[in-house]
Amino acid sequence: IVLIVFGLIIVITRTSAAENSSGTASSAFLGKLLVVPMDGSHWVGVKALAQEMGRRGHRVTVVIPEVSIRMGPGKHYETVTYPVPYDKAYVDSVMASHIDVIKKTAQSFTEKIKNRFAQIQKITSLIHTGAESLLFNDSLISHLAQQGFDAVLTDPMVPTGSLVAWKLGLPTINLLRGIPCFMDVKSAGCPSPPSYVPRFFTGYTDKMSFKERTVNTLVALLEPLMCRLLYWHFDNIAYQFLGEEVGIAEVLSESAIWLMSIHTSLDYPVLKFTHTRTHTITSEKVFFAVLIVSCH
């Protein structure tokens, strides 16, 4: 098995030329797509894809919480919202103090760690509450089950959409930048030897010195533990929601398609190959490029 990058499949440009041009309902098949997006910067790419699918004549339904950082209605898709037990002021205050924590430098080291940790806890509890508000809203879930969707598009970093897809027995299309503990790579069945594949946050490329490779290997060894910590609560949610003994890793490994989005502004160093491609597209003012990754 080799990691095969099939190439740049979908390229969405910032220019609005696509708005009016070719490509409407290019094929006979018009499907129904359910989109369960993730908030924040992750929303941008999923929204672009949802709009484009809708523009091509597919029926696209985006399910979002009533309160979010930036998610909302858009062109060519329908929006379904669900109530959450927090308000916009709370979300804004969490995000504002998030920025404060990053900026503040006149604190002692332990003070900083303490604040940072409290901050991360607030954000993850917001994410968990949001997910539970959708998954444990029985009337909404059964409404979605009746719609006869063909597939689910989601960002599995927050696996709410993946759980909905599993429950409804639908294939999942993932659009993501990556999961810090490499769960995406493992779930997709991709080999990721630490001597060659750089880990998240290390900033390395596929050409590493001996020292870099050692550090990379140590980070790789910590990944199973990181995944446990990151998805601990979601594993419990999965068990309650699905009523079966399945964890997030297992749910993700059933995904049909993995689309890796390479943001030019974030410059995620995957492999040298995609690195080079990313630079090529930057000059063409491309907002983001998507790679289909298949390891089977």
Ligand X SMILES: *[C@@H]1O[C@H](CO)[C@@H](O)[C@H](O)[C@H]1NC(C)=O
**Binding residues for ligand X (CB under 6 A):** 20, 80, 82-83, 137, 139-140
The nearest distance, CB 144 to ligand X, in angstroms, is 9
Tell me the torsion sign for CA atoms 125, 130, 131, 135: positive
**8 versus 18: smaller Cβ distance to ligand X:** 18
> What is the residue type of 86?
Y
Token duo for residue 242: 């699905």
CB 244 within 8 A of CB 271: no
Q: Which is nearer to ligand X, 140 or 248 (CB)?
A: 140
CB 38 within 8 A of CB 158: yes
The distance of closest approach from Cβ of residue 60 to ligand X in the complex, given in angstroms and rounded to an integer, is 17
Closest approach, Cβ 157 to ligand X, in A, equals 23
Give min distance, CB of 173 to ligand X, in A: 23
Distances (CA, A) of 295 to 62, 165, 240, 277: 29, 21, 31, 20
Residue closer to ligand X (CB basis): 12 or 215: 12
**Shorter beta-carbon distance to ligand X: residue 141 or 281:** 141
Give the whole-angstrom CA distance, residue 127 versus residue 191.
30
* Closest to ligand X by CB, 22 or 110: 22
DSSP state letter for 17: G
3-state class (DSSP) for residue 158:
coil
CB of 125 to ligand X, least distance (A): 18
* Position 246, amino acid: V
